[in-house]
């Protein structure tokens, strides 16, 4: 059958099956496998529009729209009269047309179908009672189809069985689709995206796209699926596989050109004598037909240029898909070179990058199961090992396929052994594929950079890593970009270097293969590093060594199912008390060692022969009280001594001219910082949690390059040297938790580079002396001014400083650059009005300011603290969506725990009803008669509950109220016992009479433990004009004793023309699960405002009302 004939059919295959038996299992997998090969397949649960006559649709699909029927016989197939009638129809069509029938026997024997035995006999016993006239036709059809000979599952795995069926279908249809594995998991979403891209202006524009990702991630498979599904839409098509590999062979590019030309010309041969001749012919034939071209596994642009040249005149509507490990392959310059001017113009916006991600854990397990067991389930005995193996694969389809297939039919002991081996030696087949990316790196520089990152810097900060490796004579910035481009490295949203586990294993395997003698390898880690040091077998080859002894012991304990019980004093002391001593002499031969990690390692001996070319030294848990005099670390760029026992660093710091980062965090014995006079290059100094540090050396002022200083939780530190004001490059100063620090040098205001100042939990607020540098003068009635704070501050944190309004200034105008202000957990009552002048402020943290009562008008970037209309993407109605305080959405202003907050200017204002001056409210509620007992009020804005007497809340232009009561007031015109009420608005008596306001009253009950789960909202919907307004209250209130029903009253103004006479209006309350007892609505006009819901209209049974008006 020719391809053109096939393409005229709506479907290639019609699937007949018993839905209850196989719809969600075997048939679904078979359908997916067929579709992925571009075989258009009909199944009634997807293809039929249920409004049509189903029988007619089935008949059309069989008689006119498909070339082959696959009939899946399962255990209960014969129980369905629908299936039997369908089978009769299929066989009749087989006789009258060239229709192919392929029987598939799934968990039934052909003889059972032919002779109607077993479950088929039981079904026909029932049919003979109800469908006597049809029984013989059905029996004949079953006998006939069984004699055709089909495909039988028997004891085969379902995956292999489906693969065989698909091949048989391809053979019978003579399709030109490419083979893809029968079980494809987790690709549908990306395939859909690519298909949508192909359809985008498909007839008119040329498009080019890259499918990128690491080796083995499934790029080629996805490209094949897309190719198979779309070839009928193009006049010509070609899939050039293995471009990278083939182009390296002798005459490889010419062979690719010949295949491309032959595919486009549909098999017509054409002699190609050389590359240039091929380029000319390709340009000649692609200009006159819409082409789908896939270039698989392209590693560099030059291969494409050599294959097809430049300025290729692709016909409008042509699409080119490239699979590559290089995500940076396509760029604007390349596209302009590839296309002629007109085509290039048409290509605008159609250049696309599709990145293939790792499978999710559930998808990984599913794919692994298919290859290991032939179905999507795991025997209980293998479950633990299967999950461990899947986790090891990290969502990489190639690894899941290789490992699953290799363990198929193996014993549990074999699985355990395989897992143990994998942790030491990666699978060679997987490594061979992954290593292609490494080998494609252009030079040894990038390869060595990759191997160093593999050993030391995965999950480390990019900037930190760059500082270290720049010091090792790498060009780190461009090198990292190259590794990211080759899909060997990922930079996550936190700027950390991330790497797929299998890529990491590949890198370590490259190092392992350098030598069978571990001491002669270039990089050593963990157990190998431990062995080399203990056995003193290191050599000049070693450039990088990392050993975390604590981690190594913990890992060993985990493997032997034992638990390390660390004493309370510290883990490092526990480790040092054990037999883990090593000798410095072990490093004597490692002359080229530059990167060294020795966490919790104790060395004995002198350091005269210790490596002298170190650039990075990380030694957590360093057990000495000072550096040995003969320890030569002149070339260090980074020194990381966290959790050390150092009392002093060293006196001769002048010998560290290249040091950029010094980290002494958690060094609890450190009393004084070193002299900084010999550290001219220092950029970051970390002294966090040095709890006995009492003095920072005066020489700190000489650190002209210092940008970051962290003294957090140095609880013994009482003052800072005045020379700190000389740190002209300092951008971030962290003094949080320095609880005894009561004096800050006034020179701090000279630091024009300072952007972040954290003074959380310091004692500065207690000392007028410490604050005087902050104060210009003490002005009568004006409070304090902080005009002397560094004017370029971007972030200021004063959390837990016990700031009250006595020391909270009214004038913040000097902080014009401030973007973030944190005064959380301070006992302030209000914020200064000058806050609104901080026009760059976009973060305000007020968490648990339990005394805060009022927030003034806020700066422009925070002026979202107002009522906000939220629209749906495609609302079915006009007008505003939700009238809702912006606080519900804002993540840049935190007011949780501000339990006394009663006002946010322009958002809401909560005040006692007797203080509310609006005459309207006083008339409405007869203020003098209101019961003053308290109610429980829960605020969704602050996430807090308070007890309060009746209050008034104005919010978003609305006034709402919670009232203890059980009846809707008399004046409410429309009433119901449901959560929704509908009515028509009457024709106005006067032409200018407009609806001015609606009033809603809801009688409900609610338990106090439900308040936190509900966000009550009311809706008014003009069904005639399709206008919806919604309001969500930021408060909810119930009776203090929780033994009464409540009334929720809302007074809701509306604008002109939104509601007119004759309109159908619906009002409703959500959530529906709120226990609604009664619901009433009334409305007022602009010329006839009636206060029908006043207290005078409440029933006599409500004489003792408690009202809280919001």
Task: Provide the annotated active-site residues.
Answer: 86
DSSP 959: E
Strand segments, DSSP code E, in 191-253 are 207-212, 236-240
Positive or negative torsion for Cα 429, 434, 439, 444: negative
Task: Give first-to-last CA distance, the chain, whole Å.
Answer: 77
Residue tagged 């650059």 (tokens):
817
Residues paired with 301 in a beta bridge: none
Separation between Cα atoms, residue 548 and residue 598, nearest integer Å = 6
Cα 24 from Cα 14, distance rounded (Å): 17
- Residues 996 and 957: their CA atoms lie apart, in Å, by 13
10 Å CB burial of residue 485 (0-12, 13-18, 19+) is middle
Are the CB atoms for 762 and 801 separated by under 8 Å?
yes
Distances (CA, A) of 895 to 95, 823, 903, 1072: 78, 11, 12, 29
The CA-based angle 110-115-117, given to 5 degrees, is: 90
Bridge partner list, 685: 662, 709
What count of other Cβ atoms lies within 10 Å of the Cβ of residue 192?
11
**Dihedrals phi, psi of 895, to nearest 5 degrees:** -120, 15
State phi, psi for 603 to the nearest 5 degrees: -105, 140
Q: What is the dihedral of CA 458, 461, 464, 470, to 10 degrees?
A: 50
CB atoms within 10 A of CB 788: 16
3-state secondary structure of 391: helix
Q: Are 395 and 364 in contact (CB under 8 A)?
A: yes
Q: How far apart are CA 358 and CA 363, in angstroms?
A: 10
**H or E stretch including 503?**
helix 501-512
- What number of other Cβ atoms are within 10 A of residue 871's Cβ? 10
One-letter-per-residue 3-state SS of 976-1022: ECCCEEEEECCCCCCCCCCEEEEEEEEEEECCHHHHHHCCCEEEEEE
What is the rounded CA–CA span in Å between residue 94 and residue 412? Answer: 49
Nearest to 1037 by CA among 913, 1103, 1105, 951: 951
Burial (CB < 10 A; 0-12, 13-18, 19+), residue 711, is buried
Tokens of 304: 């494409």
Of 638, 698, 692, the residue nearest 670 (C-alpha): 692
Residue in the block written with tokens 């200018």: 992
Across-strand partners of 910?
Answer: 953
Structure tokens at 321: 């898909």
> What is the distance between the alpha carbons of residues 238 and 266, in angstroms, rounded to a whole number?
10
E-strand ranges in 120-275 read: 151-152, 207-212, 236-240
Are 830 and 851 within 8 A, CB to CB?
A: no
Residues found in the chain: 1110
Per DSSP, 1093 falls in state: T
Residue bearing tokens 């030079």: 443
């Amino acid at each position: 059958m020719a391809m053109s004939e096939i393409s005229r059919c709506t479907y290639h295959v019609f699937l007949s099956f018993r839905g209850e038996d196989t719809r969600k299992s075997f048939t679904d997998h078979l359908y997916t496998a067929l579709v992925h090969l571009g075989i258009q397949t009909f199944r009634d649960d997807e293809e039929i529009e249920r409004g049509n006559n189903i029988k007619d649709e089935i008949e059309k699909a069989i008689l006119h729209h498909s070339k082959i029927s696959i009939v899946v016989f399962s255990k209960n197939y014969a129980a369905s009269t629908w299936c039997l009638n369908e089978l009769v129809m299929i066989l009749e069509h087989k006789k009258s047309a060239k229709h192919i029938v392929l029987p598939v026997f799934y968990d039934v024997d052909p003889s059972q179908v032919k002779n109607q035995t077993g479950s088929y006999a039981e079904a026909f016993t029932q049919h003979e009672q109800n469908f006597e006239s049809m029984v013989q036709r059905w029996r004949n059809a079953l006998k006939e189809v069984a004699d055709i000979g089909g495909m039988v599952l028997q004891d085969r795995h379902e995956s292999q069985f489906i693969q065989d069926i698909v091949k048989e279908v391809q053979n019978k249809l003579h399709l030109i689709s490419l083979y893809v594995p029968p079980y494809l998991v987790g690709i549908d979403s990306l395939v859909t995206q690519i298909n949508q891209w192909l359809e985008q202006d498909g007839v008119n524009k040329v498009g080019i796209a890259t499918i990128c990702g690491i080796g083995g991630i499934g790029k080629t498979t996805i490209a094949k699926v897309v190719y198979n599904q779309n070839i009928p839409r193009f006049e010509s098509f070609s899939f050039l596989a293995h471009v990278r590999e083939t182009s390296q062979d002798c005459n490889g590019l010419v062979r690719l050109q010949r295949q491309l030309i032959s595919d486009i010309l549909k098999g017509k041969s054409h002699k190609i004598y050389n590359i240039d001749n091929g380029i000319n012919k390709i340009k000649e034939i692609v200009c006159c037909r819409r082409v789908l071209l896939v270039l698989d596994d392209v590693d560099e642009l030059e291969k494409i240029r050599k294959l097809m040249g430049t300025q290729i005149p692709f016909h409008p509507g042509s699409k080119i898909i490239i699979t590559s490990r290089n995500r940076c392959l396509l760029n604007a310059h390349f596209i302009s070179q590839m296309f002629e001017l007109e085509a290039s113009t048409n290509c605008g916006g159609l250049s696309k990058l599709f990145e293939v991600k790792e499978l999710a854990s559930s998808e990984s397990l599913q794919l692994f199961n298919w290859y290991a067991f032939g179905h999507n389930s795991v025997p209980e005995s293998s479950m633990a090992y299967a999950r461990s193996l899947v986790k090891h694969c990290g969502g990489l389809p190639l690894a899941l396929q290789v490992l699953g297939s290799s363990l198929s039919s193996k014993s549990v002991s074999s699985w355990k052994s395989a897992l143990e081996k994998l942790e030491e030696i990666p699978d060679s087949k997987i490594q061979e594929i992954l290593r292609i990316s490494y080998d494609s790196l252009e030079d040894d520089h990038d390869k060595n950079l990759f191997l160093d990152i593999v050993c030391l810097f995965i999950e480390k900060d990019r900037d930190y890593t760059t500082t270290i490796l720049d010091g090792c004579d790498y060009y780190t910035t461009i090198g990292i970009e190259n590794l990211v481009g080759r899909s060997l490295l990922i930079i996550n949203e936190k700027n950390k270097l991330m790497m797929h586990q299998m890529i990491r294993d590949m890198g370590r395997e490259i190092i392992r293969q350098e030598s069978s003698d571990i001491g002669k390898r270039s990089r050593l880690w963990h157990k190998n590093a431990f062995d080399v040091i203990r056995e003193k077998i290191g050599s000049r080859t070693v450039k990088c060594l990392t050993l975390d002894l604590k981690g190594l012991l913990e890992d060993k304990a985990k493997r032997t199912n034992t638990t390390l019980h660390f004493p309370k004093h510290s883990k490092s002391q526990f480790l040092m008390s054990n037999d883990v001593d090593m000798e410095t002499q072990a490093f004597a031969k490692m002359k080229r060692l530059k990167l060294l990690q020795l966490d919790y390692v104790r060395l004995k001996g002198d350091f005269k022969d210790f490596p002298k070319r170190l650039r990075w030294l990380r030694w957590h848990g360093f057990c000495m009280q000072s550096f040995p005099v003969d320890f030569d670390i002149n070339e260090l760029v980074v020194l990381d001594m966290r959790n050390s026992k150092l009392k002093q660093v060293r006196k001769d710091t002048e010998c560290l001219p290249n040091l950029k980062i010094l980290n002494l965090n958690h060094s609890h014995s450190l009393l004084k910082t070193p002299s900084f006079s010999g550290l001219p290059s220092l950029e970051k100094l970390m002294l966090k949690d040095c709890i006995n540090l009492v003095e920072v050396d005066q020489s700190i002022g000489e650190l002209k390059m210092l940008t970051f200083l962290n003294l957090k939780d140095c609880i013994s530190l009482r003052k800072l040297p005045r020379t700190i004001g000389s740190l002209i490059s300092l951008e971030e100063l962290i003094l949080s938790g320095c609880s005894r620090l009561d004096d800050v040098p006034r020179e701090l205001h000279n630091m024009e580079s300072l952007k972040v100042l954290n003074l959380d939990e310091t004692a500065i607020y207690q000392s007028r002396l410490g604050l005087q540098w902050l104060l210009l003068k003490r002005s009568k009635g004006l409070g304090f001014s902080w005009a002397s704070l560094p004017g370029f501050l971007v972030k200021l944190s004063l959390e837990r400083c016990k700031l009250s309004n006595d020391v909270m200034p009214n004038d913040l105008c000097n902080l014009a650059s401030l973007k973030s202000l944190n005064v959380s957990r301070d006992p302030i009552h209000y914020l200064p009005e000058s806050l609104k002048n901080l026009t760059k402020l976009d973060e305000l943290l007020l968490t648990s300011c339990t005394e805060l009562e009022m927030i003034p008008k806020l700066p422009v970037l925070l002026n979202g603290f107002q009522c906000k209309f939220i629209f749906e993407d495609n609302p079915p109605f006009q007008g505003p969506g939700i009238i809702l305080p912006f606080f519900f959405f804002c993540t840049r202003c935190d007011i949780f725990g501000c339990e006394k907050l009663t006002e946010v200017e322009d958002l809401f204002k909560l005040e006692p009803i007797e203080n509310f001056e609006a005459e309207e409210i006083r008339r409405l509620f007869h203020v003098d008669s209101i019961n003053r007992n308290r109610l429980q009020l829960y605020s969704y804005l602050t996430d807090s509950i308070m007890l309060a007497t009746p209050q008034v809340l104005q919010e978003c232009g609305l006034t709402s109220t919670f009232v203890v009561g059980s009846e809707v007031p008399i004046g409410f015109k429309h009433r119901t016992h449901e959560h929704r009420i509908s009515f028509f608005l009457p024709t106005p008596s006067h032409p200018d009479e407009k609806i001015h306001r609606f009033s809603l009253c809801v009688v409900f009950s609610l338990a106090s433990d439900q308040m936190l789960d509900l966000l009550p909202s009311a809706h008014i919907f003009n069904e005639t004009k399709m206008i919806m307004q919604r309001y969500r209250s930021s408060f909810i209130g119930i009776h203090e004793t929780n033994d009464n029903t409540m009334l929720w009253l809302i007074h809701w103004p509306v604008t002109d023309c939104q509601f007119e006479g004759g309109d159908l209006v619906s009002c409703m309350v959500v959530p529906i699960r709120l226990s609604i007892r009664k619901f009433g609505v009334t409305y007022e006009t602009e010329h006839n405002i009636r206060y029908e819901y006043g207290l005078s209209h409440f029933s006599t049974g409500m004489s003792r009302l408690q009202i809280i008006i919001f």
